[in-house]
Structure 1
Amino acid sequence: MSKYIHSVFSATIIIGMILLPLSGCKKFLDKKSDNTLAIPHKLEDLQALMDNYGTINSRDILSGEVSADDYYLTENDWMAMPNQGDRRMYTWTSDYLFDYAFNDWSNGFSLVYYANTVLEKIGDIKRGKDNAAVWDNVKGQALFIKAKAYLQLAAVFCLAYDSSSSGADLGLPLRNTTDFNEQSVRAPLRETYNEITTDLQAAASLLPEQPLHAMRASKAAAHGLLARTYLWMRKYNEALKYADSCLKIKNGILDYSSLSASKTYPLPPFNSEVIYSSMAPPPRPLSIVKAKIVNELYSAYGSNDVRKQLFFRPNPDGSVGFRGSYNGNPALFCGPATDEMLLIHAECSARNEDLITAGKDIDELLKKRITGYTGSQFTDKKQALQFILTERRKELLMRGLRWMDVKRLNKEGANITLQRTIGAAKYSLPPNDPRFALPVPEDIIAISGMQQNPR
């Protein structure tokens, strides 16, 4: 573990040499690179680059969570937001949602740049008998980081995946080099998701089953993100396959009754369910003092559901705020975890009408969540899916997943309309509305000439 800690400190120096110019980029995807930059040439340097937890693991994309329906803001809190973009995002306004330069788009593509730096430089290092395991691990981590960034970007900036239209729907600009001179052109959504799944499958073939630490990617993490990706693509057989593969490597479930609700943040970081530690500080609208959990969701937790005590903090006005992050602090956890894998496995089993397996999955989870839980009794596919999807929403609250769940479930005919009220004004987002793909920051469009999302 001492080598791991040393690599984290080394990363600070290396990242300063490599990526400091990014903070001054006129635009992230179009700034020319500086050929005088010091670039690492050793495997340990490349590993150190990816051990920078503050960047690699702490810049997840949460604009989708801001846009989703698990919370609300009071009129006073909404009016007090210092940033107009936050107010516009909350009400699903069509444009001008993001700060200049530093936003979810730039955060996502900065991770792509990190990963591409490693993938380019590792090609200059000969893989041999003495370094094969380390070489494979480093490359696998870079592929994983890149795929994770693309998946989160696609969830926010692209429409829900639909196999019938994915060849024409707008995807992401797929960057495969560190050359800022490369023109930014949006690939079709099908090609974007193909890139994600291809990189994750390659990563899984290279990574060890268990990482040195949950800050690093592993085979289990790659399988977990593949399960999430295929679920979002509504390719449920593939999602089932990879959730199963992930759970065969890591399957621990926390007994919530053993945790103390008296702690400010009761869920411990790096706990036994965490497959890969990935998070972000909550955006302003999602801060614990402002974001109130909608009553429809809060009331779905029974009195004997331990999550009701662990996940929420009561407010003086009778509302509740969320405190159940797997980071053990205000930051919102977005990485794959075993509870998510069980829920994917259960949902996909139910969709295949395997109600026995779906019931076993749900029982395994809920017996560690609900005092006196006696087991599920699924009688048909529709009833099972309704139960499982409700538990999914309750269990995976504030994990950066709800926005894509609404999008994909509306493709399944769920007919979920999002609604908000600010004073006398009412706002709504109907199923499959183009605004479910948030606008690419306008300054990026202006300088790159990329196509903006239709409004």
Structure 2
Amino acid sequence: MKKILYCLTLTLIVFSLGCKKYLNEKPDTKLEIPTSLTDFQALIDNVSIMNFGPSAGETSADNYYLTDADYASLSQDNYKREYTWQNDYLFSILGNNDWFNTYRPAFTSNTILQNLSLSNYSSASQSTYNNVKGEAYFTRAQAFFQAADLWAQAYDVNTAGSQLGIPLRLGTDFNEKSTRSTLEETYDQIISDIRSSIKLLPVTPAHVIRPSKPAAYALLARVYLAMRKYNEAGLYADSCLQIYNTLIDYNTLSTSAAYPFKQFNPEVIRENKTPVPMPLNNSRARIDTLLYSSYANNDLRKTLFFKSSTNGTFVFKGSYEGGSNLFSGIATDEIYLIRAECYARSGSITNAMKDLNNLLINRFKTGTFTPLTAANSSSALSIILAERRKELLMRGLRWMDIKRLNKDGANITLKRRVNGQTYTLQPNDLRYALPIPEDIIQITGMEQNPR
């Protein structure tokens, strides 16, 4: 298995960078190519590759801020540039950056899909074959969606056919030139992959590190939410919750624990993590003051999600990873909020508030929660979106939300103040599509995101 992983990693480096010197290297005949279902399942189960979320969206979003001293302590200049929404050089060059780590699971998935037909398996192994194939489709879709969230503009049905999308690498030939699809083609591919996975995945996975049918429904709901296709988002959120809808009663958790939530807790539908980059380390990242103050005193999230830092500030401790890594997977609380939002947008106020209250009664101290009400759809939507931000902070979703909500006219303007200078990101700014790493542009000749 180590030989297989080494082979894939080496090939991916060539695939990602297009470095010509590798073409002249004599292949190592000892390297193994995966051919069996066992090999493919082992590749899928490599969580350090396949269950990985990029950090740049959360680093760029507005859930936190850095003091001048903490900003100065960032030893890598690209993080300073990322924090202040600079036009270029936001990612380390030829390194272990978000681009490499986002496309790596897509490449591994391509390897599996391309070679599955060559594997020998009996009819008794059909379910394993279907599961592996479904997991590969799911993981590629998730990788492409994460890439689109970072390196493409918010989806707009009126312009998606002409806007820049991402490179859709669907094979393993690193000699194939990378080109950018349109945004419409990007999302069509993502949706196609998820729909393919739904047909193949089991209802209950062997473990939540693996995708499942409810996870695929949930991912499709998230994708349609990003596209602002709210009817479809609500339908697929409902499909997920019809299968799995467990919520944790936060009263059962310890508010004094360093990390109150267990990894793989009962709300997790599919595990995915984001290793914490320098700006988001809880020794630096201070939670936005207005966001923290928006939690009611009886709201257990106020003590389970945060701990006090210096000078009356607060830092985040509420990751569903059970430690310092950030959870970027799929959990039932997010899906309840998607369905609630879509109900509100469709005018189904009673159902919208029922979903929201079902979530919140599990977040407040026992006996202190008064169900929320809304007089109209607009009021319901406002309440639900406020709770969405409070519930899902530091999960890699805020950047997507800002982009889509600004397309809906939310007029969210981001501001940072560093050493007396104010940096501003206006609604629908071109910088919401982050710059593709400059070395990738130089090597591939792809078009860079405009500024």
How many Å separate the matches in 1 of 2:8 and 2:91?
Answer: 26
How many Å separate the matches in 2 of 1:106 and 1:327?
Answer: 22
Q: 2:118 is paired with a residue of what secondary structure?
A: coil
**TM-aligned CA deviation for residue 13 of structure 1:** 4.9
**Are the structure 2 counterparts of residues 30 and 163 from structure 1 closer, same or farther at C-alpha, using a change threshold of 3 Å?**
farther
How many Å separate the matches in 2 of 1:111 and 1:237?
Answer: 30
Alignment-derived partner of residue 161 in structure 1: 155
1:28 equivalent in alignment to 2:25: no
Alignment-derived partner of residue 4 in structure 1: none
Aligned mate of 2:82, from 68, 76, 89: 89
How many Å separate the matches in 2 of 1:392 and 1:311?
Answer: 14
Alignment-derived partner of residue 392 in structure 1: 388
The ranges of structure 1 where at least 4 consecutive aligned residues each deviate by more than 3 angstroms after the TM superposition are 20-23, 25-37
Q: 1:421 is paired with a residue of what secondary structure?
A: strand
Aligned length: 443
How many Å separate the matches in 1 of 2:446 and 2:6?
Answer: 30
Structure 1 residues 212-361: aligned runs within 5 Å: 212-361=206-355
Aligned mate of 2:194, from 173, 191, 200: 200
1:454 equivalent in alignment to 2:450: yes
Alignment-derived partner of residue 404 in structure 1: 400
How many Å separate the matches in 2 of 1:244 and 1:21?
Answer: 40
How many Å separate the matches in 1 of 2:12 and 2:229?
Answer: 37
How many Å separate the matches in 2 of 1:142 and 1:210?
Answer: 17
Aligned mate of 1:16, from 6, 30, 35: 6
> What's the CA shift string for 1:73-97, capped at 9, x where partnerless?
0011111111111001100101011
Structure 1 gaps, min length 5: 1-9
Q: Which amino acid aligns with 2:227?
A: M
**TM-aligned CA deviation for residue 20 of structure 1:** 3.9
| Contact residue 94 and residue 435 of structure 1 kept, 8 A | yes
**TM-aligned CA deviation for residue 125 of structure 1:** 2.6
Q: 2:123 is paired with a residue of what secondary structure?
A: coil
Alignment-derived partner of residue 431 in structure 1: 427
TM-score (norm 1): 0.95
How many Å separate the matches in 1 of 2:192 and 2:17?
Answer: 25
| Contact residue 15 and residue 175 of structure 2 kept, 8 A | no
Q: 2:268 is paired with a residue of what secondary structure?
A: coil
| Contact residue 30 and residue 448 of structure 1 kept, 8 A | no
> What's the CA shift string for 1:359-403, capped at 9, x where partnerless?
110011000001211212111111111100000000001000000
How many Å separate the matches in 2 of 1:26 and 1:411?
Answer: 34
Alignment-derived partner of residue 184 in structure 2: 190
Q: 1:428 is paired with a residue of what secondary structure?
A: strand
Q: 2:17 is paired with a residue of what secondary structure?
A: coil
> What's the CA shift string for 1:80-133, capped at 9, x where partnerless?
111111001100101011001221111111111100000011021356532211
How many Å separate the matches in 2 of 1:51 and 1:27?
Answer: 22
**Are the structure 2 counterparts of residues 124 and 21 from structure 1 closer, same or farther at C-alpha, using a change threshold of 3 Å?**
closer
| Contact residue 30 and residue 183 of structure 1 kept, 8 A | no
Aligned mate of 2:439, from 440, 443, 454: 443
How many Å separate the matches in 2 of 1:316 and 1:215?
Answer: 36
How many Å separate the matches in 1 of 2:70 and 2:408?
Answer: 34
Q: 1:131 is paired with a residue of what secondary structure?
A: helix
Q: Which amino acid aligns with 2:239?
A: S
> What's the CA shift string for 1:146-193, capped at 9, x where partnerless?
001000010010000000000011001111110001111100000000
Alignment-derived partner of residue 143 in structure 2: 149
How many Å separate the matches in 2 of 1:105 and 1:394?
Answer: 28
Structure 1 residues 96-111: aligned runs within 5 Å: 96-101=89-94, 102-111=96-105
Instruction: Report % sequence identity.
Output: 48
How many Å separate the matches in 2 of 1:28 and 1:275?
Answer: 34
| Contact residue 64 and residue 156 of structure 1 kept, 8 A | yes
Alignment-derived partner of residue 33 in structure 2: 39
Q: 1:216 is paired with a residue of what secondary structure?
A: coil
How many Å separate the matches in 2 of 1:383 and 1:108?
Answer: 37
1:420 equivalent in alignment to 2:420: no
Alignment-derived partner of residue 120 in structure 1: 114
How many Å separate the matches in 1 of 2:108 and 2:383?
Answer: 41
Q: Which amino acid aligns with 2:348?
A: D
Q: Which amino acid aligns with 1:175?
A: R
Alignment-derived partner of residue 171 in structure 2: 177
**Are the structure 2 counterparts of residues 274 and 441 from structure 1 closer, same or farther at C-alpha, using a change threshold of 3 Å?**
same
Q: Which amino acid aligns with 1:62?
A: S
Aligned mate of 2:363, from 361, 365, 369: 369
How many Å separate the matches in 2 of 1:148 and 1:345?
Answer: 20
**TM-aligned CA deviation for residue 18 of structure 1:** 2.9
Q: Mean alpha-carbon deviation: is it higher for 190-199 or for 127-136? A: 127-136
How many Å separate the matches in 1 of 2:235 and 2:28?
Answer: 44
Q: CA RMSD in A?
A: 1.4
Structure 1 residues 61-72: aligned runs within 5 Å: 61-72=54-65
Q: 2:225 is paired with a residue of what secondary structure?
A: helix
TM-score (norm 2): 0.96
Structure 2 gaps, min length 5: none
